[in-house]
Amino acid sequence: MKEISLGMARAVILAAGDGKRMNSAKPKVLMNVLFQPMLGWVLDSVEDAGIKHENTAVVVGSNAEQVLDYLEKREGNYPHFFQHERKGTGHAVLQAFTQAEESATAQVKPASGLLQIKQKFPRFAAGGSPDDDVLVLCGDAPFMNSQTIKDAYIQHKKDDNDITVITAKVEPAGNYGRIKRDKNSNRLISIVEMKDCSPAELLINEVNSGAYWFKTERLLWALPQLQNNNKSGEFYLTDTAQLLNQKAGTYTADDSVIVLGANDRRQLRELNELMADKIYDRHYSEGVDIIGHNVIIGKDVKIARDTLIMPNTIIKGKTSIGSGCVIGPDTYIDNCTIHENVVLNSVQAFDSTIENNVKAGPFVHIRPGTVLRKGVKIGDFVEVKNSQIGEGTSLAHLTYIGDSDVGKKVNFGCGCVTANYDGLGKYRTVIGDNAFIGCNTNLIAPVEVGANSTTAAGSTITKNVPDGALAIERGQMNIKENWYKNNLRVRKAEEKKGNA
Ligand code: UD1
Ligand code: CA
């Protein structure tokens, strides 16, 4: 297939709906599928197709401030437009072309009193050539993918269409708009919304995905002519198909999941499961094993081949995992860089880097800002926070290391603690290479323990320890001989038994 560029194309994403049936404080487009809002999936697909952020307009309405917050988080600089009243998908699209800072001359006469196109090419639409194209998508259909967008565009250009509707075959066709074709020519006549279908139309199983390519000029010609004399009393974008049916076409997606959306939490769960399966499939192809159940892998996670993911494991954020690792069971990883041959068993790890051959678990918490260098060994009930742990260092049991810089081949005995917080500030602990930190050592930060030095078990280290030294901080040990025999309580007890 020849390479196409969508560098000049524009997109309008409809995200003004409320989604009452989700029963959420969030608008529907911000409901998550695999940890990412549905709107995010759509924006990613548009971006992957090659459409620039500044050419991707988002129409917001219900809970607009939340949607705008999300757009800001993505740092996309997306143009956005308000639809103050929810009057239908056609009305929503119109907002992107009528609200703008820059005005141009109106060239379109509205047919209905309600829709007024004030400017033909406001800022968002300006700069395009006369055959400029615009992609319109629903913000609540997360399975729409960049390949479908591009393939539909190729067809749209090849056939020189005014509108190309992206369709799919779905059985049963549910609530989706039905694609009505001419019996003889098979050409697209119109899209009929489920509510407005005749019994015969209800049986049509080709449906509207809610995504379309339009010649921008023709879309702007059609929009003001929309009427709301239908069952919902809304200005349907779908009616543009009939208005433009002289040069209308369809692109039928190979995979019908592209149409899927969710109206309630049950459907959202189904989307999550479908998406999880799609992601497994990608990893299987890339040579990753996922065994057993309850593995959830986020969209942006990268895993190299011959890594094994075990049950009850969640991997999310911008995590990358090298080859030959065993991750899980019972492991949660968010935003980590994990190198090769790493073994993590019952580990929770966040915003950290884990180098080759590290072994951690079970029951380990690796908190943000941690770097575990090559070959670090971490055993049960250990927490590491915002610390560098040098190559080959071992933290075998029951230990907390926070805000520390630990050298190579350091050995921590059981139960060591860095006291990094004094109630006011956080301080660092520095430990040199090859140091031996005895069991139950408390390191009161800020403090430094030199290379090759030893802290005696049970010591509370408050002063710096020079290289190669032994630091002991303990009360003098006393032995009381014959304590048992002389102990008053013991004597009384013996008397009672008649042994005295
Ligand atoms: C729409 C299509 C239908 C298609 C389906 C695919 C219309 C009339 N119908 O139906 O043919 O099969 O999508 O999912 O277009 N929105 C606004 N403002 C509005 C109304 C909707 O921004 O005034 C947004 C919603 O937030 C949503 C999208 O547009 O992201 C689709 O709206 P929705 O009400 O879900 O339309 P459907 O009934 O699903
Ligand atoms: Ca919908």
- Mean pLDDT of all residues in 127-136: 74
How does pLDDT run across 415-457, given as a tens digit for each residue?
A: 999 999 999 999 999 999 999 999 999 999 999 999 999 999 9
CA of 139 to the centre of ligand 1 (A): 9
- The ligand whose atoms approach the alpha carbon of 233 most closely is 1
User: Tell me, what's the pLDDT at 113?
Assistant: 40
User: Tell me, what's the pLDDT at 132?
Assistant: 87
pLDDT winner (highest mean) among 61-70, 120-129, 351-360, 481-490: 351-360
**Of 212, 223, 117, 92, nearest to 161 (Cα)?**
212
d(CA 362, CA 357): 16
Given the CA of residue 263, which atom of ligand 1 is nearest to it?
A: 35
- Mean pLDDT of all residues in 369-382: 98
CA of 131 to the centre of ligand 1 (A): 26
64, pLDDT greater than 60: yes
Given the CA of residue 85, which atom of ligand 1 is nearest to it?
A: 23
**Average pLDDT along the chain:** 92
Give 154's pLDDT tier (boundaries 50, 70, 90): very high
Percent pLDDT > 90 in the chain is: 83
Pairing of strands 206-215, 133-138: antiparallel
CA of 419 to the centre of ligand 1 (A): 56
Q: Give the residue, out of 14, 43, 89, with the most ligand 1 atoms within 8 A of its beta carbon, to mutate for a pocket test.
A: 89
Given the CA of residue 86, which atom of ligand 1 is nearest to it?
A: 23
The strand order across the sheet containing 454-455 reads: 289-290, 308-309, 326-327, 343-344, 359-360, 377-378, 394-395, 411-412, 436-437, 454-455, 470-471
How does pLDDT run across 189-248, given as a tens digit for each residue?
A: 999 999 999 999 999 999 999 999 999 989 989 999 999 999 999 999 999 999 999 999
**Residue in this structure with the two tokens 């001989």, named with its chain if needed:** 481
- The ligand whose atoms approach the alpha carbon of 211 most closely is 1
User: Tell me, what's the pLDDT at 106?
Assistant: 33
- The ligand whose atoms approach the alpha carbon of 177 most closely is 1
DSSP string, 309-342: E-SSEEEESS-EE-TT-EE-SSEEEES-EE-SS-
Give the containing element (helix H, strand E) for 64.
helix 64-73
484, pLDDT greater than 90: no
Name which residue sits closest to atom 2 of ligand 1, judged by CA: 210
Give 111's pLDDT tier (boundaries 50, 70, 90): very low
Pairing of strands 163-169, 206-215: antiparallel
Contacts of 98 by beta carbon, 8 Å cutoff, 6+ apart: 116, 117, 118, 119, 122
118, pLDDT greater than 70: no
Pocket of ligand 1 (CB under 6 A): 14-17, 29, 59, 61, 83, 86-89, 91-92, 138-141, 176-177, 191, 193, 207-210, 236-238, 259, 261
Residues designated as active site: 397
| Burial status of residue 353 (CB atoms within 10 A of its CB: 0-12, 13-18, 19 or more) | middle
Name which residue sits closest to atom 1 of ligand 1, judged by CA: 210
Give 376's pLDDT tier (boundaries 50, 70, 90): very high
DSSP string, 193-249: -GGG--HHHHT--EEEEEEEEEEHHHHHHHGGG----STT----GGGHHHHTGGGEE
User: Tell me, what's the pLDDT at 2?
Assistant: 57
CA of 88 to the centre of ligand 1 (A): 7
Give the torsion sign (CA, 207, 213, 214, 219): positive
Given the CA of residue 139, which atom of ligand 1 is nearest to it?
A: 30
User: Tell me, what's the pLDDT at 131?
Assistant: 63
CA of 383 to the centre of ligand 2 (A): 45
108, pLDDT greater than 80: no
Range 224-250 burial, b when 16+ CB lie within 10 A, else e: bbbebebeeebbbbbbbbbbbbeebbb
Would the pTM of this model clear 0.75, i.e. be above it? yes
CA of 129 to the centre of ligand 1 (A): 28
Longest dimension (CA), the chain: 117
User: Tell me, what's the pLDDT at 105?
Assistant: 32
Given the CA of residue 88, which atom of ligand 1 is nearest to it?
A: 23
User: Tell me, what's the pLDDT at 214?
Assistant: 97
- The answer to whether the beta carbons of residues 85 and 62 sit under 8 Å apart is no
Give 97's pLDDT tier (boundaries 50, 70, 90): confident
- The ligand whose atoms approach the alpha carbon of 96 most closely is 1
Percent pLDDT > 70 in the chain is: 93
393, pLDDT greater than 70: yes
